[in-house]
């Protein structure tokens, strides 16, 4: 079975040092290969370290250490509030060709541009394999993604299970998305989801 590669932010107040805002919690898996898609990323020539987002501990740490290598499967970016998890994940998604407010590479809308400039300084090292699909899911702007999905028409709604996210509860719309839109061999970025229901997904 081929599983997707997923990067997921998770707030953890027990992380003592803010520079540990980037922690790969998936290293315990045995026999894990490197990510098939984004194998490594680094920050190139940031314009100083005093302004946002380059003042963030995780950004400074990545620049000073030469970046970060990803493994396949599920990767958690764990850290305290304000350590830079969401900013980094957003920049990675944008650098990988996705919309800053969420969605796939086919979503090109903007309600209010608020993303940082970090993606412009990220260098991604891609593997030989290309993802079958890709999607950036961020809870705080998913309402905007739902509105754009309706605007794009029936085919886009059908890809989410046939029901507009606006006609589902918050949790149900996330379940619909992951059940119908996330596929094996895909690359997905998920920012601090707080689902209030159990969710089991299988890719085959």
pLDDT digits (tens, 9 = 90+) for 185-197: 889 998 876 544 4
- Rounded mean pLDDT of the chain? 79
pLDDT at 49: 77
For 26-33, what is the mean pLDDT? 44
Whether residue 204 has pLDDT greater than 70: no
pLDDT digits (tens, 9 = 90+) for 80-119: 888 888 899 999 999 999 988 888 888 887 777 778 999 9
Split at pLDDT 50, 70, 90, the class of 48 is: confident
CB burial class (10 A; 0-12, 13-18, 19+) of residue 103?
buried
User: Measured between alpha carbons, how far is 141 from 20 in angstroms, rounded to an integer?
Assistant: 26
For 114-134, what is the mean pLDDT? 90
pLDDT at 193: 64
User: Measured between alpha carbons, how far is 204 from 202 in angstroms, rounded to an integer?
Assistant: 7
pLDDT at 11: 52
User: Measured between alpha carbons, how far is 56 from 84 in angstroms, rounded to an integer?
Assistant: 6
The two structure tokens encoding residue 81: 């509030």
CA dist 100 to 119, 133, 140, Å? 10, 17, 12
Whether residue 202 has pLDDT greater than 60: no
Q: For every residue of the chain, which 3-state class applies, written as one string? A: CCCCEEEEEEECCCCCCHHHHCCCCCCCCCCCCECCCEEEEEECCCCCCCCCCCCCHHHHHHHHHCCEECECCEEEEEECCCCCHHHHHHHHHHHCCCCCCCECCCCCCCCCCCCCCHHHHEEEEECCCCCCCEEEEEHHHHHHHHHHHHHHCHHHHHCCCCCCHHHCCHHHHHHHHHHHCCCCCCEEEEECCCCCCCCCCCCC
pLDDT digits (tens, 9 = 90+) for 139-154: 888 888 899 899 989 9
């Amino acid at each position: 079975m081929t599983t997707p590669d997923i990067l997921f932010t998770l707030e953890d107040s027990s992380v003592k040092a803010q520079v540990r805002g980037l922690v790969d919690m998936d290293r315990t898996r045995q026999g894990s290969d490197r990510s098939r898609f984004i194998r490594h990323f680094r920050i190139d020539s940031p314009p100083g370290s005093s302004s946002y987002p380059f003042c963030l501990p995780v950004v400074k740490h990545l620049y000073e250490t030469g970046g970060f290598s990803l493994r396949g499967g599920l990767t958690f970016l764990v850290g305290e509030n304000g350590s830079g998890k969401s900013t980094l994940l957003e920049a990675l998604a944008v650098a990988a060709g996705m919309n800053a407010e969420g969605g796939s590479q086919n979503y090109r809308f903007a309600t209010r541009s608020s993303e940082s400039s970090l993606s412009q300084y990220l260098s991604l090292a891609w593997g030989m394999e290309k993802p079958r699909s890709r999607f950036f899911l961020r809870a705080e702007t998913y309402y905007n993604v739902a509105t754009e999905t309706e605007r794009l028409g029936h085919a886009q709604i059908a890809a989410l299970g046939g029901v507009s996210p606006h006609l589902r509860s918050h949790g149900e719309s996330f379940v619909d998305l992951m059940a119908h839109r996330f596929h094996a061999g895909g690359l997905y970025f998920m920012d601090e989801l707080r689902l209030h229901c159990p969710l089991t997904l299988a890719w085959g």
